[in-house]
Chain A
Amino acid sequence: VVQPTPVATAFWQALRELTDRLHVDAVRHAAVRGVHRALTVVGLTAACVTAVAFLLAAMGAVSALQMDLVTVGSVGLAVDLVMSIAPWAAAVFHRPSLEGAAAWADVELFGDDRVASALELSRQPTPSPFARAAIRDGLDHVRSLGRRRPSPVPFPTRRLLAAAGSMCIAVAVWMATSQPRPGIAHGPRVALGEVVPRRFASLRPADHAAAQSESARSLGEHAGTDDRRVASGTRSPSAPVADARTSLATAVLDPHPRLDNPTERPATATDPDDAAAPGGAPAAGETPPADTAGAGPQGAATPPAADASPSSAGSSPPPGGGSGAPPPDSKGPPPEPRQTAGNPPTGPSRDAAPKQAGPSAPPGPADKANGKGQGGTGGAAKRSRGVAPLLLETRLPDVFAGRPRQDPSLRTVVPARPPSVADEPAGLQPPVVPGHELPVTSYEVPPESREQVGDYCQAYERIAASEPTGRPQPPND
């Protein structure tokens, strides 16, 4: 066994110390560079998000992709974190070899392979005097490197400033697009082609309170109208309940007949669209939806000629079962008082159509179809022509919290929500058709509306109990 020469031993010791320093420096550099890279990539990600936000804002669809932007940002941050940690971890677990340290020292010193040659010469068993001098030469160079200060990591000032600016812009855009604000189409989305007044673009709590009061008034008006129809035998006993539900919910959601344009032309029977079957039967020329096509003769057998009956011109109030309750300040006829049995309705033409269908129409499926089917809601939407029917949207948390997102391709008004099941009197549950159940939501009915609904239901019970021949009688008969 040959002992290495002392100078070779000293050279190895110095080279090992240099290797340790290089390892520490490599870890430190990797950490600092990782932080720089993280900040830079965050900035780039923010810039990308900003660009996407601006693009979507220009397209008017920012609110629809809020969650997508969050996802993109989260994924970008995760990738950024991995990219920052990976080099650092590699530097921690990779210790440079003696040869690597010698090569690095030669490059650092422009030393023409002094250190590398010294390392190789130090492994000779009996180095010559020139070889020992070469080893000592390499030792001196390694020690001179040890006295040097570690090279600082260049700070990417410009990139970081650009990243910070990008992040600020991104945050500003994010905050601007995530808060509901008039003038931006937050919340309820609008059917394509519809013009939405700015003040009704979003239904905020203040608007909701106003809508509730409107719903209470419209509920009373519809109750009187429906009472007249029931008394005249043109309406099935169960239709008022469905119409009441539709009226209540639609009025809450769609208060625009009164708030939008006071001079709006009220829906009249002369309007072909308004001449649709009571309870929301398909209008003339429309094909009833599948769930209403076979609902019964009340909707399906309504002839278009009946809609154009001249006898129905003018004097009748808007039919019940929809959102077409006339506003109090409208130019249409005021709502009639509650009808009695001796005072039959003077005949809006739409009431004649059910007569042709006959009173023997089965009340269950037909009522369901008229009250909450696609045709019924379509009629309600058309009766409120001139104002925008608002689609139900998850951006109304206090009204429709938890409701699943609607298909944006739908062009029709979403069926109105009935009052809570717990609030309805027992025995008045609408028949449920499999596959067409209404989603159960926590719908808060205002106290005044609840009282009116209760009164209405009690009146209906009285009608149903006092009807000996199956023909509905006026409640105050």
Chain B
Amino acid sequence: LSEATFVLTPPQAHLDDALADAVASTDADDEAEARRRATAVRRLFALVHEQVSRAFVGQPGVVDGVIYALLTGGHVLIEGVPGLGKTLLVRTLADCLHVPMSRIQFTPDLMPADITGTTLLTEADTGGHELRFQPGPLISSLVLADEVNRATPKTQSALLEAMAEGQVTVAGRTLPLPDPFMVLATQNPLEQEGTYPLPEAQLDRFLLKLRVGYPTEDEMDRILERTTGAAHARADGHRFAAADVRAAREAVRAVPAVRRVRLHAIRLVAANHPDQPAAPPGVRRHVAAGAGPRAAQALLLLAKARAVVHGRFAASCEDVRAFALPVLRHRLMLTFGGVAERASPDALVAEVLDAVPAE
């Protein structure tokens, strides 16, 4: 129905009568189902967060970001120095979700077939020989790509198809990846020698870029207490199935976002473009290329997930703005002058947030 045929009739009935009609209508069943699904999403988020926090001390923002990415079906690029628990985080998450998990240590000599899988000539049961596909570590629900920037661009590009389309093509055969599929890549921001920076096309595939900082003194104390004792803390408790994650993702996508919220996400992304009138001066001076439509999609999906987790049924502008920094920071391509002046993408995103106020 077009908007032209939609005529709003003035409410004639009393408020209580209208509520009675609303309850008696068949739409109430669908509404109750929506509430139940939203409640399931909140329960999943809360339980996963609780169990991951038992093993992974501190960094609540990183934990939240990973779970939001899980709920929205995105991938996460985690940046931090070695030894901050990135692998532990992914392993704990896998244990909590009861899904297969694999870990790939990216090195310069790593080939694409090493991660996607290869066809091997094996002896068949009938006595002959046959070609059999040996799946690589990429074919898993949770993939930890450790130090992803140490692999060659050819190997890095092998992740593109898996991350974008959820499938891999090996020897002419296209194999679907398990659902849910999630890549958590890490990279070291300090040790840049012998590394291959990720191309913008691959960076754009990551929903979020999270930074893991050093723990505080209290967090460090708890880390020492948990890791130097007799028993290792592990995520034990309720185990979610892959179906639960898929249901949660569907529920998040069903959350409505009004036009006002969508426009706000669009304006935030557009303000990252140096040729846009809404771009702040810092963006015009230091940014060569801004974020693309995937950034707006990420913003809106994450806003929906946040709205459900916070007990709401519609996304708001504040939900969108809450994820502006992790969504946009790795999508800004700085100019030579920006790199030379060590312009911070985080500062540029903050400038964008100031330039585009909430409506």
A contact residues vs B (CB 8 Å cutoff): 1-7, 9-10, 12-14, 16-17, 112-114, 116-118, 120-121, 123, 125-134, 136-137
A10 B255 Cβ-Cβ under 8 A: no
- Bound complex: CA of A130 vs CA of B251, how far in Å? 9
Residue numbers in A under 8 Å from B260 (CB-CB): 116-117, 120
Interface residues of B in 55-87 (CB under 8 A from A): none
B1 A130 Cβ-Cβ under 8 A: no
Partner among B15, B27, B310, B318 whose Cβ is within 8 Å of the Cβ of A5: B27
Residue numbers in A under 8 Å from B33 (CB-CB): 129
5 tightest Cβ-Cβ pairs between the two chains A and B: A6-B22, A134-B313, A129-B34, A10-B18, A129-B30
Rounded to whole Å, the gap between the CB of B165 and the closest CB of chain A is 27
Rounded to whole Å, the gap between the CB of A15 and the closest CB of chain B is 10
Rounded to whole Å, the gap between the CB of B307 and the closest CB of chain A is 8
- Bound complex: CA of A249 vs CA of B196, how far in Å? 117
Which residue of chain B has the shortest Cβ distance to A117 in the bound complex? Answer: B314
Given contacts A9-B11, A128-B256, contact A118 B314 (CB under 8 A): yes
A113 B313 Cβ-Cβ under 8 A: no
B31 A136 Cβ-Cβ under 8 A: yes
Which residue of chain A has the shortest Cβ distance to B21 in the bound complex? Answer: A6
- Bound complex: CA of A1 vs CA of B313, how far in Å? 27
Q: Is B317 an interface residue (CB 8 A)?
A: yes
Which residue of chain A has the shortest Cβ distance to B253 in the bound complex? Answer: A130
A132 B34 Cβ-Cβ under 8 A: yes
Interface residues of B in 315-334 (CB under 8 A from A): 315-319
Rounded to whole Å, the gap between the CB of B100 and the closest CB of chain A is 31
- Bound complex: CA of A132 vs CA of B32, how far in Å? 10
- Bound complex: CA of A136 vs CA of B255, how far in Å? 14
- Bound complex: CA of A5 vs CA of B22, how far in Å? 8
Rounded to whole Å, the gap between the CB of A178 and the closest CB of chain B is 58
- Bound complex: CA of A17 vs CA of B15, how far in Å? 10
B170-210 vs A: 1/0 string, CB under 8 Å?
00000000000000000000000000000000000000000
23 contacts between A and B (CB under 8 A): A4-B9, A6-B21, A9-B11, A9-B13, A13-B18, A112-B310, A112-B316, A114-B312, A117-B256, A117-B314, A120-B259, A120-B260, A121-B314, A128-B256, A130-B254, A130-B314, A131-B256, A131-B314, A132-B27, A132-B31, A133-B31, A134-B312, A134-B314
Given contacts A2-B5, A2-B7, A134-B312, contact A113 B317 (CB under 8 A): yes
- Bound complex: CA of A121 vs CA of B13, how far in Å? 20
A128 B318 Cβ-Cβ under 8 A: no
Partner among B8, B30, B256 whose Cβ is within 8 Å of the Cβ of A4: B8
Residue numbers in A under 8 Å from B19 (CB-CB): 6-7, 10
- A9-B13, A116-B258 known; 9 new pairs, CB 8 Å cut-off, are A7-B22, A10-B11, A16-B11, A114-B314, A123-B8, A128-B254, A129-B254, A130-B38, A130-B313
Partner among B9, B22, B310 whose Cβ is within 8 Å of the Cβ of A3: B9
Which residue of chain B has the shortest Cβ distance to A17 in the bound complex? Answer: B15
Partner among A12, A117, A125, A137 whose Cβ is within 8 Å of the Cβ of B11: A12
| Chain A contact surface mostly | helix
| Chain B contact surface mostly | helix
B313 A133 Cβ-Cβ under 8 A: yes
Rounded to whole Å, the gap between the CB of B18 and the closest CB of chain A is 4
Q: Is B126 an interface residue (CB 8 A)?
A: no
B255 A130 Cβ-Cβ under 8 A: yes
Residue numbers in A under 8 Å from B261 (CB-CB): 113, 117
Rounded to whole Å, the gap between the CB of A57 and the closest CB of chain B is 55
Which residue of chain A has the shortest Cβ distance to B358 in the bound complex? Answer: A113
Q: Is B228 an interface residue (CB 8 A)?
A: no
- Bound complex: CA of A213 vs CA of B11, how far in Å? 93
Residue numbers in B under 8 Å from A123 (CB-CB): 8
Q: Is B226 an interface residue (CB 8 A)?
A: no
Q: Which of A9, A127, A136 has the most CB of B within 10 A?
A: A9
- Bound complex: CA of A121 vs CA of B11, how far in Å? 16
Interface residues of B in 224-269 (CB under 8 A from A): 254-256, 258-261
- Bound complex: CA of A1 vs CA of B14, how far in Å? 22
Residue numbers in B under 8 Å from A118 (CB-CB): 314
Rounded to whole Å, the gap between the CB of B190 and the closest CB of chain A is 39
B15 A10 Cβ-Cβ under 8 A: yes
- Bound complex: CA of A1 vs CA of B19, how far in Å? 22
Rounded to whole Å, the gap between the CB of B41 and the closest CB of chain A is 11
Residue numbers in A under 8 Å from B310 (CB-CB): 112
B22 A117 Cβ-Cβ under 8 A: no
- Bound complex: CA of A349 vs CA of B125, how far in Å? 167
Q: Which of B1, B19, B260, B319 has the most CB of A within 10 A?
A: B19
Residue numbers in A under 8 Å from B38 (CB-CB): 130, 133
Residue numbers in A under 8 Å from B1 (CB-CB): 2, 125-126
Which residue of chain A has the shortest Cβ distance to B35 in the bound complex? Answer: A133
- Bound complex: CA of A147 vs CA of B14, how far in Å? 17
Partner among B3, B14, B256 whose Cβ is within 8 Å of the Cβ of A121: B256
Residue numbers in B under 8 Å from A131 (CB-CB): 256, 313-314
Q: Which of A4, A116, A117 has the most CB of B within 10 A?
A: A117
B34-51 vs A: 1/0 string, CB under 8 Å?
110010000000000000
Which residue of chain B has the shortest Cβ distance to A132 in the bound complex? Answer: B31
Given contacts A112-B312, A112-B318, A125-B1, contact A130 B256 (CB under 8 A): yes
- Bound complex: CA of A201 vs CA of B316, how far in Å? 80
Residue numbers in B under 8 Å from A2 (CB-CB): 1, 5-7
- Bound complex: CA of A1 vs CA of B7, how far in Å? 6
- Bound complex: CA of A17 vs CA of B313, how far in Å? 23
- Bound complex: CA of A117 vs CA of B316, how far in Å? 8
Q: Which of B3, B8, B25 has the most CB of A within 10 A?
A: B8
Partner among A14, A117, A133 whose Cβ is within 8 Å of the Cβ of B15: A14
